[in-house]
Amino acid sequence: ALYNGSGGYASYLIPAVLMVIIFQTMLMVISIRCGKEYEQRILPLREVTRHPYTWRMATSIVIGKSVVYVGFYALFFVFLLGFLPLLYDLPHLASPWILVQLMLPYLFATAFFGLSCSLFFKDSDAPLLLIAFFSVGLLFLSGVSWPLELMPIPWRILHCLLPAPVGVLAFVKANSMGADLSDISREMMLLWGQCVVYFILACCVYKKLLQHRKSH
């Protein structure tokens, strides 16, 4: 009630839902693209023969794909988190600079996470149902609807491993509660740490995919 003076359902839940939408739709886009790549076998085979160890090629693919996804979703972020809160009178206490600093690691962590999971995206349709199934769970893991401190340790660990719960909690703190960067420093460090870990995992996944494709 302290940060929701109107007692409205929208001002309480919609900001968190908007962050989950960004996470889920990016995963859906990545799953569709990776599924089509697997079905059509369109990985760059010519470059694989040029770089036999494929580390450089895997890294360039991961960086290129993630930059494209983040570039498109930067426009989506301006519309979803910049324009809609003003249009529907949702909480928007955070400055644009704080939101940009928050969304940069959030978008890259989401992109790297999706590319890390691309090893399992062998169909362009099936992952959509699985991703949409976890939407409510992501909201609960964020700590917005239930205090994070009261969750069992396994759920708190899962909260730290996924970009969506961490990003949702940081966004609600900044945009609905007026927190500054020092107040969300824990979430920012977690997101940047996820960027590093999932970038390495994504490179390992694409190295394995390239080697598998070369052998066939």
* Cβ–Cβ under 8 Å, residues 15 and 176: yes
Number of residues that this document lists for the chain: 216
The whole-model pTM stands at 0.88
Q: Is 39 exposed, middle or buried (0-12, 13-18, 19+ CB in 10 A)?
A: exposed
For residue 74, which amino acid is it?
A
Amino acid, single-letter form, for residue 152: P
CA angle 18, 1, 80 (to 5 degrees): 15
Residue type, 100: V
CA nearest to 149, candidates 168, 169, 133, 131: 169
Could you tell me which of 10, 15, 31 has the C-alpha nearest to residue 133? 31
216 residues of the chain, pLDDT tens digit each: 667 767 777 788 888 999 999 999 999 888 888 877 776 666 554 455 555 557 888 898 899 999 999 999 999 888 888 888 888 888 888 888 999 999 999 999 999 999 998 877 776 676 777 677 788 889 899 988 888 889 999 999 999 999 999 999 999 999 888 899 999 999 999 999 999 999 999 999 888 877 766 655
